[in-house]
Amino acid sequence: MKGLSRLLRAGEDVAQGAVAASHGGLLPDEREFQYAAKMNNLDTMEKLFKKNVDINAVDTLKRTALHFAVAGGHVSVVDFLLHHKARLDMADQKGKKPFLLASEKGHVDMIKNLIALKLFTSEKDEDGNTALHLAAKNGHSEVVEILLEQWEEINDLNKNGETPFYLAVEGGHEKCAELLLEAGSDINVSTQNNSSALHVAIQNGHLSLVTFLIDENIDLVPKAEQKNSPLHLAVLSNNLLVVKSLLDANHNINSLNHRQETPLHLAADLGNVELVEVLLKSGCNLKTMDKHGKTALAIASRSHHALIVDMIIKAERYFAMEQTHLAHSGNGSDFSVSFKQDHSTETKQIRSSLWNLAYNQLKPCEWKKLAVFWKFTDEQIKAIEEQWTGKKSYKEHGNRMLLIWLHGTLLAHQNPVKHLYEDLVEAGLQPLAGKLIHSTSQCPLRDCSAVLRSLLVLGSCGQAGVEDTFFFSGTALPEG
């Protein structure tokens, strides 16, 4: 009989062990005790304690009832556990002791109570995070403020080389970042991955923190070991507002990354019209080559971003025009410089006429002849050609070239109608100029575009006695 009873007890032990294993290694009473701590059920905990439950029992994640009580912010439960000598030195699977958990969860009263009980600790978890790291990372500004009164090493690094300040910025927690900076955090410290607080703020799209860091004079110059400057990262993030903020703070617009690319190279490759516009209008260098010898224009062309190609060519011609003093200050003009595609009603008529010229009048090689006459560079012509292929691609090439020419002509405050006719003649395309006049003379005056009517006047007058001002779409053009 004794042997049989031993076998029965052994079977019960195995069954009980299996149940415990299925519930995270806890016995039923221990599991219920932890659940009561988690749910702030002090009555159940007191009953189970009288049954001699192990208050320090751990689950598979090495959490005790105290961990659950602290994480839940249940002060009365914590008081009960501490009164009954619950262990304070036990860390969970991630190396977090109760004080770190309270900081991570942001329980202000719990933190105050633990500090009052002399349970403050600057110990770290498995990732090297202190209580201050965890509070900052999760945006618990009140806890950060309390901890700063106890803290000595504010720039302590975790295993990734991150300070509490860096984690606050990474999470977008501006109040925590302000408190930590006021307390003496190093604003320019970099992580093991060579990321700065400004870098992570940009990458995570925290505009207000970017502004805050700039106002606090964070270093905008990238370190040698950093692959990209802050402006490069802003472009890569397609964040126009951050790009503008950095440019307003005088960030070097021509800064080079580890591949010798400027921010314009990256914007051109991405095909982001708004970013390219901002960089062009800010006067970036258009001639810089990357480590493969490619300019931003070549990058845009290779990536088949026709709009970007045209914008860069417009900018190149505009800046060249400025250097030769052909551009005017714009006194009295409402024209604001833009390199984007023109959709304005003021130029609709002339753009329509240029489209007709390109698609119905120009022969395959004539657009290039005009481009050379208008001093388009070989690189610019090649970039335009690369966007379209086929037997009739020259029509679109010609149209784009004419619109780029129009952009520069208007910026120079010249009369495009007058100059178009004169340049067609001077470039050796007299028959084309004649066709324009002839086609105009064959239609009723009211059906002809104002641009071609002006050409008719110009041709019939032999370029003499032309009216001082030409009109199209109801808008007066300045004298050319």
**pLDDT more than 70, % of the chain:** 83
Per-residue burial over 421-433, b if 16 or more Cβ lie within 10 Å, else e, is: bebbbebebeebb
Query: Where in the chain are the domains?
Result: 330-476
Terminus-to-terminus CA distance in the chain, angstroms? 121
Tokens of 333: 């003009």
User: 449-463: per-residue pLDDT in tens?
Assistant: 454 454 444 444 343
Neighbours of 354 (CB within 10 A): 21
Residue 21, pLDDT score: 34
DSSP character string of 10-35: HHHHHHHHHHHHHTTT--HHHHHHHH
If one compares 259 and 6, the residue with the highest pLDDT of the two is 259
- How many Å apart are CA 21 and CA 367, to the nearest integer? 82
User: 376-388: per-residue pLDDT in tens?
Assistant: 999 999 999 998 8
Residue 387, pLDDT score: 82
Q: Is the pLDDT of residue 334 over 80?
A: no
Residue 327, pLDDT score: 46
Phi-psi region for residue 459, left (φ > 0), alpha (ψ -120 to 50) or beta?
alpha
The rounded Cα 32 to chain-centroid distance in angstroms is 49
DSSP character string of 203-262: HTT-HHHHHHHHHTT---SPPTT-SS-HHHHHHHTT-HHHHHHHHHTT--TT---TTS--
- How many Å apart are CA 37 and CA 44, to the nearest integer? 9
**Which of 9-13, 62-66, 258-262, 277-281 shows the lowest mean pLDDT across its residues?**
9-13
Tokens of 291: 């480590």
Residue 92, pLDDT score: 84
Confidence label for 154 from pLDDT (cuts 50, 70 and 90): very high
If one compares 340 and 79, the residue with the highest pLDDT of the two is 340
- How many Å apart are CA 240 and CA 390, to the nearest integer? 36
- How many Å apart are CA 284 and CA 301, to the nearest integer? 18
Neighbours of 331 (CB within 10 A): 6
Neighbours of 152 (CB within 10 A): 6
Neighbours of 108 (CB within 10 A): 14
- Candidates 129, 141, 217, 140; CA nearest to 179 is 141
Confidence label for 188 from pLDDT (cuts 50, 70 and 90): very high
Which DSSP letter does residue 151 get?
Answer: -
- How many Å apart are CA 473 and CA 348, to the nearest integer? 7
Q: Is the pLDDT of residue 201 over 80?
A: yes
Task: Give me the count of residues in the chain.
Answer: 480
Confidence label for 436 from pLDDT (cuts 50, 70 and 90): low
- How many Å apart are CA 14 and CA 411, to the nearest integer? 90
Most confident of 31-45, 76-90, 127-141, 442-456: 127-141
**pLDDT more than 90, % of the chain:** 58
Residue 437, pLDDT score: 60
Q: Is the pLDDT of residue 24 over 80?
A: no
Over range 123-144, report the average pLDDT: 97
pTM for this model (two decimals)? 0.79
DSSP character string of 466-478: --S--EETTEEPP
If one compares 436 and 89, the residue with the highest pLDDT of the two is 89
Q: Is the pLDDT of residue 209 over 50?
A: yes
Mean pLDDT over each residue of the chain, to the nearest integer: 84
User: Can you say whether the dihedral through the CA atoms of 335, 339, 344, 350 is positive or negative?
Assistant: positive
